[in-house]
Structure formats: structure tokens, C-alpha cells
């Protein structure tokens, strides 16, 4: 059976499974729509949390970034993994003990203010839409390559599938769908990694393979060989970093703290029966997440080695099939700058920006690129970083069923997170804005309808952002984490650990943190991208890391305003005390 047929079978079966689960577990009440009735087993919830957490950025883009950034890409590994630990230990059990549906619920009740709730909803929608743009872009890339459709059409197909199971099933449908998606995505990630590690080093365990010798008789270790190969081609050593220490620190911390403020992950801790189950499901999720995250570094290194071996100095007429496949989807390109008919992969950009393809072919049969090549660079090959994990099995000549499995896994990763985010957006609109703020007399049926309409509108906006994304998938997601770090995290943290924090301080802090961080990112990424260099950044901190400064600004403004305004009422102090003290610990026992 040919690879394309296998891809259709694998992807088709996985979609049938997801939609079948959504229909089987269709939400019949708002409690089931928002938090799956609060009765999910901790192990199942841990698996669903891991799928929710490991988005297209984790599956598709992170290893691609590590492959091309080398040491600098490690900030994503450290930040996202460390952030999950912070969330699990610092916030999750307290929020679960509080026992409401959503993050704005917590903020609105803790800060005894409808205005605080509305500000939290605005922060949450900003974060969720920024994050979801990356997921829809990932869906488009997978569809475009494996189902041979344009990226735009791929995004639209993805929107349709998410619509069916997110709008129908709510959190109940999404939870059990995400369990299936986790199984698909982790199997799809690990199988090629085992193959590649064994092919390159003779050791099938990728985490050990990264520290092993290459089995080509050279006696070199994987990273030694990669450093030598890249230096020969004019690149920096793979194990050297180009970012300043302050920027590495800020990006890592922004990703960590942003994780702890991510609404679609926090809401997963409301779906278990009690607070102790929240801790338990967090522990299980960490184990499930670690499987992929400890494999991403080796996958990135193996991908870069394979890519160089497969492309560099290869005659275009002899180019492997995978190169032509991705070229036809506008995600890889070659221009013959020196007229020798061979592909030269070197340091530097091949074109002015991403390639713009024409329909006709060049002298060697390549797709003609209409925007001018970067003449000063010897590099002739452009490659989109988001394709590396997806192209890995093809580059390594792995069996067709492995390629089909990776296609299904990439879609599972993107769709699982997109669904979780859409639910957060819809519950914010229907529950926090309508039910709790502007229309408290709405019926449960009306609230459920509003949630589904909001989810539909969110899918349309998310699709648009997926077709016109403001960066690579992992970068777009990094901005979402920066916004979460600067807005929601301080309000949640101080809401649990500071009795003195009042509504005026929390609102002022959220507005200041979100406003500053959004304007900084928008300036360097949307309005003046040419100015986005370390010399122009404040204190040398890139847009990916600026959420840390936004967070500090949030804390400073919130504390200053709280000091100048009246303290929270006594009932709020009692609420905070109740959240912080475990059940059964209120009175000492006599023995």
C-alpha cells in the first residue's frame, strides 16, 4: 500500500474516533460543557491535560526550533516544562479547592468585582486567540502536506473538525477526545524518534542516542559531529548560544510563569472530583508530558544532521522525493545562485524573506521564486522550521506507515489544544460575561446555546489568524505565554497568597501588564519588525521574553494601588483563608 493511501487511512480513522467520542459524550448541561461534570479520573485527566498542554508548538514546532537554533532552542524546553511544575504545585490545588468553572470566575469572586471579571475575560481572550493562531497554522501545515491541499484550505478543514467536537461535546467530549489524541500523538512522536536514533547511533532510545557515538565509524559523538558539520557550512556551533543571558533568563521565566497563567490548562483542574485529585492528575500529566519533552532535543539534533546529509551538495535533479513534496506546498525552496545545478545549504538567508512561488518551473525543474534571492548569502535553500518533525520520517526513509502516523499525530496535537482554547473562549463569553455579569437571569439552555455560538465565532477568528499568522508556530505561542505571564498570573498568585490585594490593585495591575506587553510585542512584530534587534530591545530583552517585565510591572502597580486603597472586606479574607487551608487541617487533633 502506498504512503498517501496509508496517510488517508490513518488520518481518517483518527478523525472518526474523535468525532465518535464527541457524539458519545455529548454535553447535556453547562456543568458537563464547562468542566465535564467534575468527575474525571485523575489518570485520565492527566492524559487529557498532557494532550491539551502539548500543542502544535510542542509536537510540530519545538523540535524544529531546536534543530535550527541549537542551544538557544532549549529555552522552550526549560520554560514550558518548568512552568508546568510551577502550575501543578503552586496554583492548581488551590484553584480546585475554590471550585468555580473558570479563571475569570476566580478573579471576579476573589476580587469581589464585576469589572475585575471583565478585565480577566479580556486578558483571557487576548491570550487564547494568540495561542490558537499557532495551532490553526499547525493544522494548515499538516493538511497541506499530507492531504495535498493549500495551507488555507487545510486551516478551513481543521476549523470544521474542531467545530464538530468542541461545539457538540464541550469539556466532556473534549476530555475523552484528548485522551485518544494523547495516545495518537505520543505514539506518533516516539516511533520515528526510536527509528532515527537507532539508524544514526545504533541506540534505539533517543534520550541516550543523543549522547552516543555516530555509527559511521568516525568515533564522533552526535553533537560533536553536528558542531563540525555546521561549522563547515558557516553556521555557529550547535551547542553554542547566541542569545544574551538576560534574554535566555527572561524567555525561560516568561514561558514558565505564562504556563501557570494559561486558562485552558488551569480549567483542567476543575474537571476532577476534589483538590487531592488535582495534584494527582498534575503528577500523571507531568509523566505523560516528559515522554515528549525529553525526546524533543534528540529529535531536533537528528533532524538537522539528516537534513544536511540529505540536501547539501545534492544535484537538484537527484533531489529526494520529500524535498519535492514540501516544495510543492511552498514550505521549502531552492534557487541556483552559482548555476551548478546542485543545492548549497549554507549559513544566511536564501531569499529576501519567505519565498513567493510562481507557477512555472526553472531550468532544473525547481519551483521558481519571484521575490529576489539574498545575493550576499551563499545559501541556496530555504526551509520552513515548522516542517522538520513532519518531514523527519521522509528524510530518514522510514516506512510509509510511520509517515502516516506522524501526520495523524501532528493533527492530534494541534486539534486537542485548539479545542481546549475554544472552550475557554466560549465559557468566558457565555458564563463570565453573560451569566455572571450582564444577564444573570439567563436559563441554562440559553447559556449553553450562547457558549456554542461563542465557540463558533471563535473558530472563525482562529481560522483567520491561522491563515495569516504573525510568526512561526512556537514563536506565536511564546507571545501567548508572555501575555499570560503579564496579566493573569500575578492576579491569580496574589489572589491566593495575599489577603491585602484588593480589586483596585488587581484591575490596575492586569491592565498595566497586558497593555505594556501587548504594545511591546506588537511594536517589534507587527509595526516595526525591521527594528527587532538586540540593540533596540529594552535591556536586550526580546518580545518573547518581555512578559517578565510586564509581570513585574503588574505586581508593582497592583501592590502600589492596593496600598493606597481600602483593604478587601472580611468575607474575602475568610475566602482566601479557606482556599489555603486543606480540609481537615482547621483544628488540631488531640491524641
pLDDT in tens, 27-74: 555 555 555 445 677 888 888 888 877 777 778 778 888 888 888 888
Nearest residue to 300 (alpha-carbon basis) of 137, 136, 189, 202: 189
Q: How confident is the model at residue 126 (pLDDT cuts 50, 70, 90)?
A: confident
What pLDDT, in 10s, does the model give residues 13-28? 888 887 787 777 665 5
- Residue 587 pLDDT more than 60? no
Q: What sign for the dihedral angle of Cα 143, 149, 152, 154?
A: negative
> Who wins on pLDDT, 132 or 535?
535
What's the mean per-residue pLDDT of the chain? 82
What pLDDT, in 10s, does the model give residues 336-353? 888 888 999 998 888 887
3-state secondary structure of 481: helix
What pLDDT, in 10s, does the model give residues 472-523? 555 666 677 888 889 889 998 999 888 899 999 999 999 999 899 989 988 8
Strands (E), 234-353: 314-315, 332-334, 342-343
Residue 46, phi then psi, degrees to nearest 5 = -65, -40
Cβ atoms 218, 229 nearer than 8 A: no
What pLDDT, in 10s, does the model give residues 419-476? 777 777 777 777 777 777 777 788 878 877 887 788 888 888 888 877 876 655 556 6
The helix/strand count (H/E) of the chain reads as 24, 6
Rounded Cα distance between 30 and 171, Å, is: 10
Grid coordinates representing 314? 545534492
**C-alpha dist (Å) from residue 91 to 87, 262, 421, 489, 494:** 5, 11, 19, 10, 11
Nearest residue to 480 (alpha-carbon basis) of 135, 162, 156, 248: 135
Longest dimension (CA), the chain: 90
Grid coordinates representing 577? 483563608
Q: How confident is the model at residue 591 (pLDDT cuts 50, 70, 90)?
A: very low
Burial 311-344 (b: 16+ CB within 10 A, else e): bbebebeebeebbebbbebbbbbbbbbeeeebbb
Cβ atoms 214, 228 nearer than 8 A: no
3-state secondary structure of 283: helix
Chain centroid offset of residue 284 CA: 19
CATH fold group of domain 3-306+395-580: Sodium/glucose cotransporter (1.20.1730)
* Environment class of 198 (CB within 10 Å of its CB; exposed 0-12, middle 13-18, buried 19+): middle
Cβ atoms 65, 210 nearer than 8 A: no
Name the segment(s) of the chain with CATH classification 1.20.1730.10. 3-306+395-580
Cβ atoms 278, 269 nearer than 8 A: yes
Specify the pTM.
0.80
Q: What share of the chain is helix, strand, coil (3-state, %, to 5)?
A: 70, 5, 25
Amino acid at each position: 500500500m502506498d504512503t498517501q493511501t496509508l496517510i488517508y487511512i490513518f488520518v481518517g480513522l483518527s478523525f472518526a474516533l474523535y468525532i465518535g467520542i464527541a457524539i458519545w459524550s455529548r454535553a447535556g448541561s453547562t456543568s458537563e460543557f464547562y468542566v465535564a461534570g467534575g468527575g474525571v479520573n485523575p489518570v485520565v485527566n492527566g492524559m487529557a491535560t498532557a494532550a491539551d498542554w502539548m500543542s502544535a508548538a510542542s509536537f510540530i514546532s519545538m523540535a524544529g526550533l531546536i534543530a535550527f537554533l541549537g542551544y538557544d532552542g532549549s529555552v522552550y524546553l526549560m520554560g514550558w516544562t518548568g512552568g508546568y511544575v510551577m502550575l501543578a504545585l503552586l496554583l492548581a490545588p488551590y484553584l480546585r479547592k475554590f471550585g468555580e468553572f473558570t479563571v475569570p470566575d476566580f478573579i471576579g469572586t476573589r476580587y469581589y468585582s464585576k469589572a475585575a471579571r471583565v478585565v480577566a475575560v479580556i486578558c483571557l481572550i487576548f491570550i487564547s486567540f494568540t495561542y490558537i493562531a499557532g495551532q490553526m497554522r499547525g493544522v494548515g501545515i499538516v493538511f497541506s502536506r499530507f492531504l495535498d491541499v493549500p495551507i488555507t484550505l487545510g486551516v478551513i478543514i481543521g476549523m470544521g473538525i474542531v467545530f464538530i467536537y468542541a461545539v457538540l461535546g464541550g469539556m466532556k467530549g473534549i476530555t475523552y477526545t484528548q485522551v485518544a489524541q494523547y495516545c495518537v500523538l505520543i505514539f506518533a512522536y516516539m516511533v520515528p524518534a526510536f527509528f532515527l536514533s537507532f539508524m544514526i547511533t545504533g541506540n534505539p532510545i533517543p534520550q541516550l542516542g543523543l549522547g552516543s557515538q555516530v555509527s559511521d565509524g568516525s568515533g564522533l559523538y552526535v553533537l560533536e559531529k553536528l558542531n563540525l558539520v555546521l561549522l563547515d557550512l558557516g553556521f555557529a556551533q550547535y551547542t553554542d548560544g547566541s542569545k544574551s543571558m538576560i534574554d535566555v533568563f527572561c524567555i525561560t521565566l516568561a514561558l514558565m510563569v505564562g504556563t501557570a497563567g494559561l486558562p485552558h490548562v488551569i480549567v483542567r483542574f476543575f474537571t476532577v472530583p476534589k483538590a487531592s485529585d488535582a495534584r494527582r492528575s498534575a503528577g500523571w500529566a507531568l509523566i505523560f508530558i516528559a515522554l515528549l519533552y525529553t525526546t524533543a532535543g534528540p529529535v531536533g539534533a537528528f533532524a538537522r544532521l539528516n537534513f544536511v546529509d540529505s540536501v547539501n551538495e545534492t544535484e537538484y535533479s537527484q533531489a529526494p522525493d520529500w524535498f519535492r513534496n514540501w516544495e510543492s506546498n511552498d514550505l521549502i525552496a531552492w534557487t541556483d545562485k552559482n548555476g551548478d545545478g546542485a543545492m548549497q545549504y549554507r549559513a544566511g538567508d536564501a531569499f529576501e524573506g519567505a519565498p513567493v512561488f510562481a507557477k512555472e518551473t526553472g531550468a532544473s525543474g525547481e519551483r521558481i521564486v519571484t521575490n529576489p534571492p539574498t545575493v550576499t548569502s551563499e545559501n541556496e535553500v530555504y526551509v520552513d522550521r515548522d516542517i522538520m518533525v513532519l518531514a523527519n520520517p521522509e528524510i530518514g526513509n522510514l516506512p510509509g506507515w510511520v509517515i502516516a502516523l506522524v501526520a495523524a499525530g501532528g493533527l492530534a496535537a494541534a486539534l486537542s489544544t485548539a479545542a481546549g482554547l475554544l472552550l475557554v473562549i466560549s465559557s468566558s463569553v457565555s458564563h463570565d460575561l453573560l451569566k455572571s455579569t450582564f444577564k444573570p437571569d439567563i436559563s441554562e439552555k440559553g447559556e449553553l446555546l450562547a457558549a456554542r455560538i461563542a465557540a463558533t465565532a471563535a473558530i472563525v477568528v482562529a481560522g483567520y489568524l491561522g491563515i495569516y499568522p504573525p510568526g512561526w508556530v512556537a514563536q506565536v505561542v511564546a507571545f501567548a505565554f508572555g501575555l499570560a505571564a503579564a496579566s493573569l498570573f500575578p492576579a491569580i498568585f496574589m489572589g491566593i497568597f495575599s489577603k491585602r490585594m484588593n480589586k483596585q490593585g488587581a484591575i490596575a495591575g492586569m491592565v498595566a501588564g497586558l497593555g505594556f506587553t501587548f504594545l511591546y510585542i506588537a511594536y517589534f512584530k507587527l509595526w516595526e519588525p525591521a527594528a527587532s534587534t538586540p540593540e533596540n530591545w529594552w535591556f536586550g530583552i526580546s518580545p518573547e521574553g518581555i512578559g517578565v517585565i510586564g509581570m513585574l510591572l503588574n505586581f508593582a502597580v497592583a501592590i502600589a494601588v492596593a496600598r493606597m486603597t481600602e483593604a478587601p472586606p472580611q468575607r474575602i479574607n475568610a475566602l482566601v483563608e479557606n482556599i489555603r487551608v486543606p480540609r481537615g487541617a482547621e483544628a488540631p487533633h488531640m491524641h
